[in-house]
Amino acid sequence: MKTCYLIGYPIMHSMSAVMHNTAFKALGLDYRFKFAEVEERDLEDFIESYLRSSETRGASVTIPYKIQIMNYLDELDVIAKNCGSVNTVVNDGGLLKGYNTDGVGALRSLRESYGSLEGVKVLIIGAGGASRAICYHLSLHAKELIIANRTINTAESLAKSLTGNPKCKSKISVKPLNDLGKSISNVDILINTTPIGMYPHVDSTPLEAESLKRDLLVFDIVYNPPKTRLLRDAESVGARTLSGVDMLVYQGSEAFRLWTGLEAPEKLMKLEVNRALGGSQ
């Protein structure tokens, strides 16, 4: 049996095990997906002792290790290198290669909900690993990206990496999260890439309702709960909303293909995730 892990801290809110074990079982694969809630001081030891094991096929990587884990890998896929973050690792005979499927999953989800992303204006909250991946992919299409973050230096570093890419089509700017001013009124899409509002802190939000507007798509990559306070507030002002469930499934589907070489049963994965979250979509 081959094992795939979810590496992060904390991770008990995650639906990744539900999603991947459902997919492995449906295709009759001798695989299992397990949680690895690893503290920072133990990360390197876990990677060397478990992730490189011949019994391990790979891992999903979540908060807070999407950037840090790159220090321990043997190779990076070109997209992961361009994003500057890794959310999927493949163990190939003890050699660890990092990939990033977050951006692909997010853009697929956005296109299904919004339509073409050519020329859009987007406000991104957060500048961590998920944000880096989503911003990289959006910068190939969007007219403007505004990165709002509590730590300005982190946002500026991300902005610099994006503008340094010759394929970048976007005007990139940085704003402090507590001083967005009229920025929201000038964008088409708002994306929260932070864990603010994630279970169990379900009453937290990165923005108050009065900051939102009707003609906006609000995308929260948090999926537990599937309707965060940010999305509830967005609905209250008449804005369109998009939860993180589809992104979870789509990025997971890409990871599944990297580990197994097979196409994932996405509809079944989404059904089981929603069922576990208490929904019915």
User: Which residues have a catalytic role annotated?
Assistant: 66
Buried-state track 38-49, b at ≥16 Cβ within 10 A, e below 16: beeeebeebbee
Which residue blocks in the chain are alpha helix, DSSP H?
A: 16-26, 43-46, 78-83, 102-114, 129-138, 152-163, 229-236, 245-260, 266-276
Of 2, 37, 6, 26, nearest in space to 251 by CA:
6
Using CB atoms within 10 Å of the CB of residue 195, give its burial: 0 to 12 exposed, 13 to 18 middle, 19+ buried: buried
Say how far apart CA 134 and CA 20 lie, in whole Å.
22
DSSP state of 128: S
Say how far apart CA 49 and CA 130 lie, in whole Å.
26
Say how far apart CA 237 and CA 234 lie, in whole Å.
6
Contact 142, 116 (CB under 8 A): no
